[in-house]
Amino acid sequence: MMTGRGIGTPEIAGGPARHIPVLVRPVVEHLRIRDGGLYIDGTFGAGGYARAILAAADCKVLALDRDQSAVAQAAGLVEEMGGRLTVAESRFSALDEVAAGFGITAAAGVVLDLGVSSMQLDQAERGFSFRLDGPLDMRMEAHGPSAAEVVAAASERTLADIIFLLGEERHSRAVARAIVKAREAAAIRTTGQLAAIVSRVVRTRPGDIHPATRSFQALRLFVNDELGELARGLMAAERILEPGGRLVVVSFHSLEDRMVKTFLASRAGSRMGSRHLPQAAPPPASFSILTKRPVGADAAEIAANPRARSAKLRAAERTAAPADAADRPSLPRLPALADVLRRG
């Protein structure tokens, strides 16, 4: 049953959230929330989606976030929901394993709201923003190598590849060259330093995005292995969704949206066999697509929340066919983070 209670309420227990949930109404509608269902919110953030799901029916939510500060902030909402909400610190690539730890083997819905929250972006000390000066960190988790370590260790070629493949920055080679030249003179430790270095080589016109936008996106995706997480998260969702269960993904840039689109198209039956192998029957479709074209925010939402401008929602319904463990989404060809730190 869907009652629509509370949809769009950008608040969490204990006061207004600084992160305004994007596309929350279409998220709830596409999940088709029902009484008794168990829903997995893989990206809890400020809890906007979890709250809206719990308000829509008498259901339960298991929410995950890899950022321990998001999980810590959830305590009030967990208490308010009286046993209907569980929040765990974890990556969504492991969502089925985490769910199994709570005795959950099937879900009626999985939602992923990709990228960073406003809380992460707006705290200078997290080092995500080129607009605020802070340490060049960019980690969603409190461990692992920071963006400053990558910028210090990566070879010029690797930096250029990261910035081109994960930022789609046309001037990636010039940016990489400028970074290497600058770090020979002094270590690049802050977001302000990096933004200034990039801005000297990427020219923009008035009204364009900030010149460092693409380079910062690339480093953030690399440091947090965000595309690898998405690829594994989609497969984990395929494993845990029950027949009729819904997958909803909200993405904010073309690399993510392309991966979601390609994954769903392939799972929905438009898979091609290999040209080099004898023709076998394609595996049965494990999803049927609900959104032929991605759903975006309307003018009112964009006016109220400019972050919604680039949001794209795609949704699909799980069939009864088995999950396909062999067909993995393809990822940009880049060295692993650990190898970059060791070998540049």
Ligand X SMILES: C[S@@+](CC[C@H](N)C(=O)[O-])C[C@H]1O[C@@H](n2cnc3c(N)ncnc32)[C@H](O)[C@@H]1O
Question: Taking the complex as a whole, how short is the minimal distance between the CB of residue 51 and ligand X, in angstroms?
Answer: 8
Q: How many CB atoms are located within 10 Å of the residue 167 CB?
A: 24
In terms of Cβ atoms closer than 10 Å to its own Cβ (0-12, 13-18, 19+), residue 190 is middle
Question: Taking the complex as a whole, how short is the minimal distance between the CB of residue 95 and ligand X, in angstroms?
Answer: 8
Helix axis angle, 172-185 to 156-167, nearest 10°: 140
317: left (phi over 0), alpha (psi -120 to 50) or beta: beta
Question: Taking the complex as a whole, how short is the minimal distance between the CB of residue 94 and ligand X, in angstroms?
Answer: 8
Q: Are 225 and 337 in contact (CB under 8 A)?
A: yes
Nearer to ligand X, 66 or 253 (CB): 66
Nearer to ligand X, 21 or 26 (CB): 21
Radius of gyration over every alpha carbon of the chain, rounded to an integer in angstroms: 21
Question: Taking the complex as a whole, how short is the minimal distance between the CB of residue 195 and ligand X, in angstroms?
Answer: 22
Question: Taking the complex as a whole, how short is the minimal distance between the CB of residue 14 and ligand X, in angstroms?
Answer: 14
Nearer to ligand X, 18 or 173 (CB): 18
Pair of tokens at residue 95: 């969502």
Q: What are the C-alpha distances in Å from 74 to residues 4, 70, 142, 319?
A: 22, 6, 17, 33
Nearer to ligand X, 117 or 266 (CB): 117
Strand partners, 335: none
| Helices marked H in the chain | 24-31, 48-56, 68-73, 75-80, 95-101, 118-122, 147-153, 156-167, 172-185, 191-201, 213-223, 226-240, 254-267, 299-304, 337-343
Chain residues binding ligand X by CB under 6 A are: 19, 21, 42-43, 45-49, 64-67, 70, 91-92, 113, 115-117, 140, 229
Nearer to ligand X, 166 or 175 (CB): 166
Nearer to ligand X, 5 or 181 (CB): 5
Nearer to ligand X, 49 or 216 (CB): 49
Owner of token pair 């370590």: 149
Owner of token pair 């390609």: 262
Question: Taking the complex as a whole, how short is the minimal distance between the CB of residue 60 and ligand X, in angstroms?
Answer: 17
Residues 6+ apart with CB under 8 A from 47: 12, 17, 63, 73, 74, 77
Question: Taking the complex as a whole, how short is the minimal distance between the CB of residue 275 and ligand X, in angstroms?
Answer: 34
